[in-house]
Structures are given as structure tokens and as C-alpha cells.
């Protein structure tokens, strides 16, 4: 079977208090990826701002914006000018008191192809997202674009095999995870290594289990102080449909270019027919929170 290749750019950068400067950095990354021949570019989670979920502060809701809105207009213009599909990540103001952590996809002509509202919302020290975000209500639906069907998820979603599987079952051709993940700055080196290893391994597992390429973007830099200080580890990466590492960024700002073999999914599923052999008649308990006894 023919080998279809999708060239992607993964933009990894730090975020400062100046939203305009952050957006300018993201836009420069889009241009850099397009200049390298990328057809698709992925930005980090909530790339317009420092990670405000480190604390619970009602004033931070002022950062949210509607979709479509100012940032989607700028991303759309960049997509159109560079003829590239853009995956951005925004703090969406849907209505008074109703906000989402939302990924947006702009097609090569600048059209808003679709959005995904983050479904799994964490609430952990320095990651107080439940204070800010209503869980998504759009389901696990791939977004159709001129370059294929994109299974876009967001950060905490990456720990859930159910989310990846449902995107695959709906026809996604690649899984994409804009992220903002890092260490508590007090973590010891061995604990940091375990956390990073788990993060990459679980996403490589999604690639293997669904025979789909996976892309994960992340931010870099140190944000906060004291108990809310986070060191974002970067390490954005992409893997092939068998979980093989194709490219990995370091811990600084960069735009990573990678060729994704999207055409291998069909042949792999013929030889390793995981979808055929699923025992859907025996999975009812997956809809339960836990089996007590």
C-alpha cells in the first residue's frame, strides 16, 4: 500500500504575562513550520497566557475570549497566509459563568474547521482546572480538514485510553494533544524522570493500540513561585502508528518538524486487527466508575 506522509510542525515555547507577545511567538512558529514544508502545526495548550490554573483566582476569567474571536481571527489569518492547518488552544468564554479549555482547528483557507472542548478536567495542586473549566460537551469527534481527520484532544485527556479509542473509532487519522505539563519544582530528579517517562509511554501506547500517529506539544519555562511553581518540561514529540519515536524536542523553545506516516494505519490494522477482536459485548462495566466487590 502507498505510504502517505503528513509533515507536521510542533511549536514549543514559553509563555510570559504579555498575551500579545505570546501570540506573536506562536505565529512565528506557524510561519517557521510552514517554511519547512509543514502541512499542519500544533501549538501548546493555552499558549496565549502563563498557566493561570496554578491558583484559583476569579480575576483570571478576564483572560477568556469567545470563539470565533480575536485569537481565532489571528490564527485563521496565519493559516490562510501560510496555507497550513493550525491547531490552537484557547480559554473559551462561552457565556457568563461558562468557560472551556478549547482546542481550535483552522484549515488552510482560514476556515474554522472545528473545535474540541477538553473533556477530562484535572484538579491537583497547581493544576486547579476544575475552578475554571466546564467539562467538554462536544464528545470525542475528529475534525475534518483538507489534510485529513484530526483527533484533537487536550493534555489531561492523554492519560485516558478511552478518549484515544473513541477518536479512532470515529475515523481519526492522527491523535493530537496540545499540553501544558511539568514538574513541581521541588521534585527530585528520579521522580521527574518517572513522570516524564509515564507521560510519553501512555501516549505511545495510544499509537500502538489504535495504529495512529500521535503528536504531543508542550510548553517550556518556569512559572509561579513557592508551592505553585511549575517547571514545564517541553519534550514535545511525535510517534508513528506502532509507537516508534519519530522526533522529540528538548527543554527549550523550538519548532519541531516531523513526517508522520499516516498511510500505515490500513496495513497495520489488517495484520494486527485490534478493532476486529474487541469484545464489545463484554465491556459494559467500562461505563461504571468502579466495581465494588
pLDDT class of 149 with cuts at 50, 70, 90: very high
Residue 62 has a pLDDT of 97
Residue 264, pLDDT above cutoff 80: yes
Which residues are identified as catalytic?
Answer: 45, 118, 155
What are the contacts of 29-32 at 24+ separation with CB within 8 A? 29/255, 30/75, 30/78, 30/79, 30/82, 30/84, 30/86, 31/78, 31/82, 32/255
Distance separating alpha carbons of residues 249 and 217, to the nearest angstrom: 9
Regarding pTM above 0.85, the answer is yes
Percent of the chain exceeding pLDDT 70 equals 99
**Total domains, the chain:** 1
DSSP 8-class letter at 225:
-
Q: Is residue 251 part of a domain?
A: yes
- Sign of torsion, CA 202 203 205 206? positive
253 in any annotated domain: yes
Q: Give me the domain span that covers residue 10.
A: 6-287
Structure confidence by residue, pLDDT tens digits, 48-78: 999 999 999 999 999 999 999 999 999 999 9
Does 103 map to a domain?
yes
What pLDDT is recorded for position 2?
55
Average pLDDT over residues 266-285: 96
What's the pLDDT band for 185 if we cut at 50, 70, 90? Answer: confident
Long-range contacts of 159-166 (CB under 8 A, 24+ apart): 159/120, 159/202, 160/120, 161/202, 161/205, 161/206, 161/209, 162/286, 163/119, 163/120, 164/206, 164/209, 164/210, 164/212, 165/209, 165/210, 166/139, 166/140
pLDDT at 86: 98
Give yes or no for residue 235 having a pLDDT over 90: yes
Q: Is residue 292 part of a domain?
A: no
Q: What whole-number distance in Å separates Cα of residue 100 and Cα of residue 117? A: 6
CA–CA gap between residue 190 and residue 216 (Å, rounded): 22
Domain-embedded: residue 190: yes
C-alpha cell at 174: 492522527
What's the CA dihedral at 28, 14, 249, 176 to 10 degrees?
Answer: -80
Q: How confident is the model at residue 226 (pLDDT cuts 50, 70, 90)?
A: confident
Which tens digits make up the pLDDT trace of 5-54?
999 999 999 999 999 999 999 999 999 999 999 999 999 999 999 999 99
Output the nine-digit C-alpha cell for 208: 500502538
**What CATH number is associated with residue 245?**
3.60.110.10
pLDDT in tens, 97-118: 999 999 999 999 999 999 999 9
SS3 content of the chain, % helix, strand, coil (to 5): 35, 30, 40
Q: Is residue 165 part of a domain?
A: yes
Of the two residues 291 and 233, the one the predictor is more confident about is 233
Asked if residue 150 belongs to a domain, the reply is: yes
Going by C-alpha positions, the residue among 253, 267, 242, 194 that lies closest to residue 219 is 253
Whether 293 is covered by a domain: the verdict is: no
- Please, what is the average pLDDT of the chain? 96
The whole-number pLDDT of residue 225 equals: 87
Amino acid at each position: 500500500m502507498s505510504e502517505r506522509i503528513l509533515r507536521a510542525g510542533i511549536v514549543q515555547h514559553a509563555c510570559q504575562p504579555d498575551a500579545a507577545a505570546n501570540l506573536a511567538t506562536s505565529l512565528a512558529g506557524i510561519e517557521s513550520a510552514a517554511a519547512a514544508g509543514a502541512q499542519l502545526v500544533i501549538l501548546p495548550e493555552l499558549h496565549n497566557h502563563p498557566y493561570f490554573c496554578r491558583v484559583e483566582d476569579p480575576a483570571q476569567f478576564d483572560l477568556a475570549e469567545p470563539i470565533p474571536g480575536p485569537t481565532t481571527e489571528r490564527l485563521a489569518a496565519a493559516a490562510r497566509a501560510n496555507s497550513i492547518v493550525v491547531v490552537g488552544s484557547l480559554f473559551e468564554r462561552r457565556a457568563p459563568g461558562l468557560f472551556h479549555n478549547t482546542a481550535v482547528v483552522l484549515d488552510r483557507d482560514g476556515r474554522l474547521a472545528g473545535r474540541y472542548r477538553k473533556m477530562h478536567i484535572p484538579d491537583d495542586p497547581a493544576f486547579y482546572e476544575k475552578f475554571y473549566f466546564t467539562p467538554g460537551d462536544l464528545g470525542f469527534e475528529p475534525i475534518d480538514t483538507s489534510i485529513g481527520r484530526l483527533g484533537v484532544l487536550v493534555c489531561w485527556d492523554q492519560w485516558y485510553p478511552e478518549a484515544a479509542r473513541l477518536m479512532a473509532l470515529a475515523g481519526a487519522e492522527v491523535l493530537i494533544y496540545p499540553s501544558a505539563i511539568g514538574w513541581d519544582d521541588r521534585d527530585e530528579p528520579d521522580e521527574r524522570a518517572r513522570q516524564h517517562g509515564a507521560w510519553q509511554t501512555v501516549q505511545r501506547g495510544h499509537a500502538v493500540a489504535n495504529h495512529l500517529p500521535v503528536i504531543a506539544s508542550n510548553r517550556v519555562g518556569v512559572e509561579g513561585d513557592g508551592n505553585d511553581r511549575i517547571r514545564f518540561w517541553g519534550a514535545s514529540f511525535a510517534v508513528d502508528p506502532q509507537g516508534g519515536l519519530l522526533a522529540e524536542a528538548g527543554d527549550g523553545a523550538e519548532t519541531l518538524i516531523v513526517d508522520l506516516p499516516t498511510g500505515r494505519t490500513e496495513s497495520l490494522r489488517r495484520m494486527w486487527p485490534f478493532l476486529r477482536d474487541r469484545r464489545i459485548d463484554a465491556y459494559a462495566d467500562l461505563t461504571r466508575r468502579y466495581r465494588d466487590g
